[in-house]
Amino acid sequence: MSLLANKPQSAEQPGHTDSAAAFVPDQSRAERKTSYAVADFPLPSGREEEWRFTPVDRLQALFADTAGTALRRDESLPQGVTVSTVSHEDWQGSGAPKPADRAAVVATAQAESVLVIDVPAEAELTEPVRLTLTGEGALSHGHTLVRVGNFAKATIVLRHEGDAQYSELLSVVVGDGADVTLVSVQEWDDTALHLGQHDVVVGRDAKVRHIAVTLGGGIVRLNTNASYAGPGGSFEGLGVYFADAGQHQEHRLFVDHEAPHCHSNVEYKGALQGETAHTVWVGDVLIRAAAEGTDTYELNRNLILTDGARADSVPNLEIETGEIAGAGHASATGRFDDQQLFYLQARGIDEDTARRLVVRGFFASIVGRIGVPEVEERLMEAIDRELEGVA
Amino acid sequence: MSTLEIRDLHVTVDTEQGTKEILRGVTLTINSGETHAIMGPNGSGKSTLAYSIAGHPKYTITSGTVTLDGEDVLEMSVDERARAGLFLAMQYPVEVPGVTVSNFLRTAKTAIDGEAPKLRTWVKDLKQSMADLKMDPAVSDRGVNEGFSGGEKKRHEILQMELLKPKIAILDETDSGLDVDALRIVSEGVNRAKEATGSGVLLITHYTRILRYIKPDFVHVFVDGRIAEQGGPELADRLEAEGYDRFQAAPAAATDEAATPANA
Ligand SMILES: Nc1ncnc2c1ncn2[C@@H]1O[C@H](COP(=O)(O)OP(=O)(O)OP(=O)(O)O)[C@@H](O)[C@H]1O
Ligand SMILES: [Mg+2]
């Protein structure tokens, strides 16, 4: 049984396109296949629901069950944080969810080992854990497990740079009462291909924020899945993306509410400029029958700066219990507003500066909430750089 | 001493039905220190005049000239006009989400002056002007016009006039949507700004009530895209008593609907 969202979808300015008509998909998200076996996932054709927006023909190398070479890894670890490797079996026993598509299952099958980052229980990190992965043009597979102990407080910044054909599975398993922010920054060269599955398991009463910042790459597709290991957990998924000509950036979120009294909030904003820039945002939220007292909201906004760019935005809400605190979504895609430009210019502000102000303003509500100064600053600078390409 | 000179200005807009002439020969000279009131019925082209002077891309100037101290305004971009000393307080100020008022004002001030204002005096001036206009100081952390009430928007426009100190300010229906108290506060702001900088003011309005607070030197009756009659403050009193009917009789009213097709 499905109920309608009880928070109305917010209407955007008139005249803006809006693809937010939430629909209940023909198949429940609960039925989507997950497995450890590569053979369980046939090669995607592009006709599957979860691949229908993705240029799969350019991704065949990442679907092939063949070995690659590891990305270069640079890390900076605050005291108490350790990096080690474990076996595939240990990873399976860690509470991490299974791979959910072909690229992710190949990543787990082909990665040399499972890289584990451990933040011990009750550790309160004052500096972020920094991990930078750099590609050198090769096929690569990543399989990473981030384990955060009970009541720990940690920020992890994961950066992707260089060129690669990279598929990865990242599991973030967060203990009870912990408070974790994980930032994944995609600053790839424009030739890179990146298919990622990020699973976040929120412990009882834990608070987890997953933040995706996608600026570079030819194709970047990140599937972020959140689930709850106990009641009282809170998940926030924030995202900022900026697509130029020829780039495909896809962010898919799935928040699976099975435990009661959990909270989720997803907010993604993207800007697009240039011919064939394409972004996709899919936000699936499933509130299962047991998840009473759930409070969830998801929002996606896209700002189209030039002709020829395309933004797809699809929120899906499935609700299997009437006993929820709130569920809503909003999605809107709008063009750059010339009235705003006129207003700023009429105050003496030159066109380039005015454009920058408007776009920075568009992103401000999310950027200000990232809460990791080094990421916020770099992001704002990157947005300014992107804009120098326009006008 | 500055002079804005508008001569025989003709302006069209492109509509779905074709090109429509809205301004049909406007001639008007405004000097520093002078206050000109333009009064006219809805749709007569008052905002079109204001936007055309400011350089809104929607309007096409088909003939005529606009100069500020002899410089060709029509050749300038929108921001150049503002930096040259023109200011337009808009009838419907635009929301710019996420750009804070304080950031916006500082950026505008820096652009107009050609250098960043001294931090200490700037903060003081901003606080003082906001207090004078009875604006909540918390407004400076909000997005420009984002969720502002009608009255807040108008105060914010006049705040900008006070801070940016234009040579010539065009105020498009700054009085609309204001209650009596707000009207008085906003009018006092205009008078203060005028006194401080000696700006020339072009006050566009539909009603005479704002003229009780801002005394015009000249009143122009604007009908059907041109000035139909000019006079002193006494003309406003007549309009108050008689309305615009006298000017809208027969031919002018009839042409009101007449859009000129592009190929006519
Ligand atoms: N983009 C446009 N397309 C079609 N008609 C337009 C456009 N812009 C202005 N007009 C028309 O031009 C005329 C003058 O409009 P304008 O806004 O200048 O009038 P106004 O005197 O300021 O009116 P008000 O008192 O309502 O503010 C009106 O008939 C209006 O409908
Ligand atoms: Mg008007």
Exposure on the CB side of residue A125, measured as CA atoms within 13 A? 28
Find chain B residues with C-beta within 8 A of A340's C-beta: 94-96
| H-helix or E-strand spanning residue B89 | strand B86-89
What pLDDT digit, counting tens, does each position of B20-34 carry? 999 999 999 999 999
Structure confidence at residue B249 (pLDDT): 63
Name the closest-CA residue to atom 4, ligand 1. B15
Global pTM reads 0.86
Judge residue A368's burial from the number of C-beta atoms within 10 Å of its C-beta, 0-12 exposed, 13-18 middle, 19 or more buried.
Answer: exposed
Structure confidence at residue B246 (pLDDT): 83
Inspect the interface and report whether the beta carbons of A349 and B111 lie closer than 8 Å: yes
B133's CB contacts (< 8 A; 6+ apart) are B155, B158, B159, B162, B185, B186, B189
Inspect the interface and report whether the beta carbons of B108 and A349 lie closer than 8 Å: yes
**What residues have their beta carbon closer than 5 A to ion ligand 2?**
B 46-47, 91
Chunked into runs of 10 residues, chain A (391 residues) has average pLDDT values of 35 36 63 95 94 97 96 97 96 96 98 96 97 97 98 98 98 98 97 98 98 97 98 98 97 97 98 95 96 97 95 96 93 93 98 94 92 93 82 41
Q: What distance in Å separates the CA atoms of residue A310 and residue A18, rounded to the nearest whole number?
A: 12
Residue B205 has pLDDT above 50, yes or no: yes
Most A CBs within 10 Å, among B107, B158, B164, to test the A interface: B107
Q: Please tell me whether residue B212 adopts helix, strand or coil conformation.
A: helix
What pLDDT digit, counting tens, does each position of B24-62 carry? 999 999 999 999 999 999 999 999 999 999 999 999 999
The arithmetic mean of pLDDT across residues B172-201, rounded, is: 95
Structure confidence at residue A213 (pLDDT): 97
Inspect the interface and report whether the beta carbons of A357 and B99 lie closer than 8 Å: yes
Most B CBs within 10 Å, among A301, A340, A347, to test the B interface: A347
Does residue A118 contact residue A152 with C-beta atoms inside 8 Å? Answer: no
Question: Cα(B44) to centroid of ligand 1, in Å?
Answer: 7
The arithmetic mean of pLDDT across residues B134-152, rounded, is: 95
The structure tokens listed for B216 are: 């015009």
Chain B nearest-CA residue for A352: B79
DSSP B263: T
Å from B215 to nearest chain A CA? 26
Domain residues of chain B, as ranges?
3-88+152-259
Inspect the interface and report whether the beta carbons of B96 and A347 lie closer than 8 Å: no
**Is the Cβ atom of B46 under 6 angstroms away from ligand 1?**
yes
B218's CB contacts (< 8 A; 6+ apart) are B34, B35, B36, B37, B230, B231, B232
Does residue A371 contact residue B132 with C-beta atoms inside 8 Å? Answer: no
The structure tokens listed for A183 are: 């930032």
Convert chain A into a string of H (helix), E (strand) and C (coil): CCCCCCECCCCCCCCCECCCCCCCCCCCHHHCCCCCCHHHCCCCCCCCHHHCCCCHHHHHHHHCCCCCCCCEEEEECCCCCEEEEECHHHHHCCCCCCCCCHHHHHHHHHCCCEEEEEECCCCECCCCEEEEEEEEEEEEEEEEEEEECCCCEEEEEEEEEEEEEEEEEEEEEECCCCEEEEEEEEEECCCCEEEEEEEEEECCCCEEEEEEEECCCCEEEEEEEEEECCCCCEEEEEEEEEECCCCEEEEEEEEEECCCCCEEEEEEEEEECCCCCEEEEEEEEEECCCCCCCEEEEEEEEEECCCCCEEEEEEEEEECCCCCCEEEEEEEEEECCHHHHHHHHCCCCCHHHHHHHHHHHHHHHHHHHHCCHHHHHHHHHHHHHHHHCCC
Q: What distance in Å separates the CA atoms of residue A313 and residue A21, rounded to the nearest whole number?
A: 10
**Is the Cβ atom of B44 under 6 angstroms away from ligand 1?**
yes
Residue B67 has pLDDT above 80, yes or no: yes
Interface A–B counts its CB contacts (< 8 A) at: 80
CATH of domain B3-88+152-259: 3.40.50.300
Inspect the interface and report whether the beta carbons of B97 and A348 lie closer than 8 Å: no
Does residue A245 contact residue A273 with C-beta atoms inside 8 Å? Answer: yes
**Structure confidence at residue B247 as a pLDDT band (50, 70, 90):** confident
The structure tokens listed for A12 are: 């955007």
Find chain A residues with C-beta within 8 A of B107's C-beta: 349, 353, 357
Residue B251 has pLDDT above 90, yes or no: no
Structure confidence at residue A12 (pLDDT): 35
A-contacting residues in B 149-208 (Cβ below 8 Å): 160, 164
**Structure confidence at residue B99 as a pLDDT band (50, 70, 90):** very high
Most B CBs within 10 Å, among A342, A356, A369, A384, to test the B interface: A342
**Residues belonging to chain A with any Cβ–Cβ distance to chain B shorter than 8 Å:** 337-340, 342-351, 353-354, 357-358, 360-365
The structure tokens listed for A27 are: 């198949």
Find chain B residues with C-beta within 8 A of A384's C-beta: none
Structure confidence at residue A20 (pLDDT): 40
Find chain A residues with C-beta within 8 A of B93's C-beta: 343
Question: Cα(B21) to centroid of ligand 1, in Å?
Answer: 10
Residue type, A62: L
Residue type, A388: E
Q: Which of B55, B97, B107 sits opposite A349 (nearest CB)?
A: B107
| H-helix or E-strand spanning residue B73 | none
Q: What are phi and psi of B162, to 5 degrees?
A: -65, -40
Residue B259 has pLDDT above 50, yes or no: no
Question: Cα(B42) to centroid of ligand 2, in Å?
Answer: 7
Does residue A206 contact residue A234 with C-beta atoms inside 8 Å? Answer: yes
Residue B75 has pLDDT above 90, yes or no: yes
